[in-house]
Amino acid sequence: ADAAHQTITVSADARPVAEEPAVEPEDRVEQFAEYRRLKATMEQMQMTGVPNPYFTVHESIVADTTVVNGKELISFASYNYLGMSGHPDVSKAAADAVQRYGTSVSASRLVSGEKPIHGQLERKIAEFIGVDNSILMVGGHATNETTIGHLVGEGDLILHDALAHNSIVQGALLSGARRRPFPHNDYAALDRTLAEIRSKYRRVLIIVEGVYSMDGDFCNVPEFIAVKKRHRAMLMVDEAHSFGTMGKHGRGMAEHYGIDARDVDIWMGTLSKSAASCGGYIAGSNALVELLRYTAPGFVFSVGMPPAQVAAALAAIETLEKEPERVDRLRQRSELFLQLCKDAGLDTGASAGTPVIPVITGNSMVALRLSNRLKGDGINVQPILYPAVDESAARLRFFLTSEHSEQQIRFAVERTSHHLAELGFATAASA
């Protein structure tokens, strides 16, 4: 320890102090440039006169509807894809688990936080997907961060889809591995990159998502499996939005393509969407799960998933097994919404029949005004504004659920196209 300490001291002292330029100290958040940028953006938004679209308070369970300010709205802004949050069996399972185990497991599972339902849910997820085993973590974001951050490091390479979620990018940064995005869904470009540089790295981890949560398109997993096999790389698929929504029974991308789930090295998913809970999982081989169980920092040094959350996810998956028609209904509703948008001439980008359907306005202010007008009609949908996406890609993002009625869908698309035409006219006229 002394030697290590000395090395650090010597290298820190190696650069003469005089060479370091003096910087203005910042000891209050108000001084941070990023805070001032945030304030400027908020002020700009305020100047439009449209209310802040963030942190809206929802006073009810959110599925096909929500309650805001005491008023019921049709909701297209929740991940409750299968209506499992609020399902009586799921709520009851969570309440029973609290009665039996309390509200916290009060320790890391490794030491004394292990409950019977942890293992039950892990086995259920593995069986549902078709792999050996799985491991639960307390947050979906944390699952990506800690797993990616832990499995690769210096001397390794991460190649991820250009549209990968923030949790994947953060995990990659944490890992210390070299990180390179490849063009969205472009397995041929990935193949070319690997042919060129694979030999320079020990481990190569390719990361894609099942369904992409901004655009509603999905990944050609079999092609990525072929590439990863060709180059002896590992493939990780984030199923946050495909678990419960893709495949006949909602088992995800492996079921959708009819492939052997074991051909993907790492399946990741979140329990905050179709599974009506929160937390994440990693599913795959026994060796992968065993390594993570004993060594992944975000698992070992973090409390176990709370009983209510575990029981809710378990009940949601069991309910899905009993009621697979929910997945069919979700698909049918999503396809109807997409078709109606296309018939109305709305720009739905790359959306491909998944429950994520953007309506691209190409202008943040139009997206903001459109969402506000829809709220006036009793429809809640979130605008996605610059800088979350490029200004030209500003949009409303509709999330469908199996609980939406055809009538709700027809009404929403009709109102959207009505207001967009009006706003479009106003924009063109004022230009």
Residue 180 has φ and ψ, to the nearest 5°, of -140, 120
Residue 177 or 356 with smaller CB distance to ligand PMP: 356
Q: Of the listed pieces 138-146, 302-310, 322-330, 367-375, which binds ligand PMP according to CB under 6 A?
A: 138-146
The set of residues, in sequence order, having a beta carbon less than 8 Å from that of 271 and lying 6+ positions away, is 136, 140, 277, 278, 279, 280, 281, 309, 313
Indicate the helix (H) or strand (E) that contains 224: helix 221-230
Among 53, 139, 149, 304, binds ligand PMP (CB under 6 A): 139
- Least separation in angstroms between residue 81's CB and ligand PMP is 12
CB of 191 to ligand PMP, least distance (A): 23
Choice between 310 and 413, CB closer to ligand PMP: 310
Where does 344-385 have alpha helices with state H?
364-376
Residue 140 binds to ligand PMP (criterion: CB under 6 A): yes
Under rule CB under 6 A, residue 369 binds ligand PMP: no
- Does 160 bind ligand PMP (CB under 6 A)? Our answer is no
Span near ligand PMP by CB under 6 A; candidates 134-142, 175-183, 293-301, 397-405: 134-142
- Nearest-CA neighbor of 320 among 74, 124, 135? 124
- The owner of tokens 């065993």 is 290
Beta carbon of residue 114, minimum distance to ligand PMP (angstroms, whole number): 22
Is residue 77 within the footprint of ligand PMP (CB under 6 A)?
A: no
Sequence-separated (6 or more) residues with CB below 8 Å from residue 94: 308, 309, 311, 312, 315
Stretch that binds ligand PMP, among 17-25, 63-71, 133-141, 303-311 (CB under 6 A): 133-141
Decide: is 171 part of the binding site for ligand PMP (CB under 6 A).
Answer: no
With CB under 6 A as the contact rule, the residue among 87, 109, 141, 331 that binds ligand PMP is 141
- Using DSSP bridges, classify how beta strands 65-68 and 71-75 pair: parallel, antiparallel or unpaired: antiparallel
Query: Which pair of structure tokens corresponds to residue 224?
Result: 């990525």
Q: How far from 137 is each of 351, 381, 401, CA to CA, in Å?
A: 30, 29, 25
Q: How far is the CB of 308 from ligand PMP (least distance, A)?
A: 16
User: Is 278 or 370 the residue whose CB approaches ligand PMP more closely?
Assistant: 278
Which amino acid makes up residue 410? R
Which single residue brings its beta carbon nearest to ligand PMP? 140
Is residue 302 a contact residue for ligand PMP (CB under 6 A)? no
With contacts defined by CB under 6 A, name the span among 7-15, 104-112, 136-144, 283-291 that binds ligand PMP.
Answer: 136-144
> CA triplet 360, 427, 409: central angle to 5 degrees?
40
* Region 230-289 residues binding ligand PMP, contact defined as CB under 6 A: 238, 240, 270, 272, 278, 280
**Smallest gap, in angstroms, from Cβ of residue 38 to ligand PMP?**
21
Q: Which is nearer to ligand PMP, 214 or 233 (CB)?
A: 214
Q: Is 165 in the site for ligand PMP (CB under 6 A)?
A: yes
Stretch that binds ligand PMP, among 15-23, 33-41, 139-147, 228-236 (CB under 6 A): 139-147
Instruction: Give whole-number Cα distances, 316 to 189, 195, 247, 361, in Å.
Output: 38, 43, 17, 35
Instruction: Kindly write down the DSSP assignment for every residue of 162-194, as one continuous string.
Output: TT--HHHHHHHHHHTSEEEEESTT-HHHHHHHH
CB 299 within 8 A of CB 143: no
Q: Count the residues of the shown chain that bind ligand PMP, applying the rule CB under 6 A.
A: 14
User: Is residue 209 involved in binding ligand PMP (CB under 6 A)?
Assistant: yes
Specify the DSSP element, H or E, that contains 290.
Answer: helix 286-295
Q: CA-to-CA distance for 279 and 41, rounded, in angstroms? A: 31
Nearest to 71 by CA among 58, 85, 54: 58
What is the smallest separation between the CB atom of 213 and ligand PMP, expressed in angstroms? 4
Using CB under 6 A, list all residues that contact ligand PMP.
139-141, 144, 165, 167, 209, 213, 238, 240, 270, 272, 278, 280
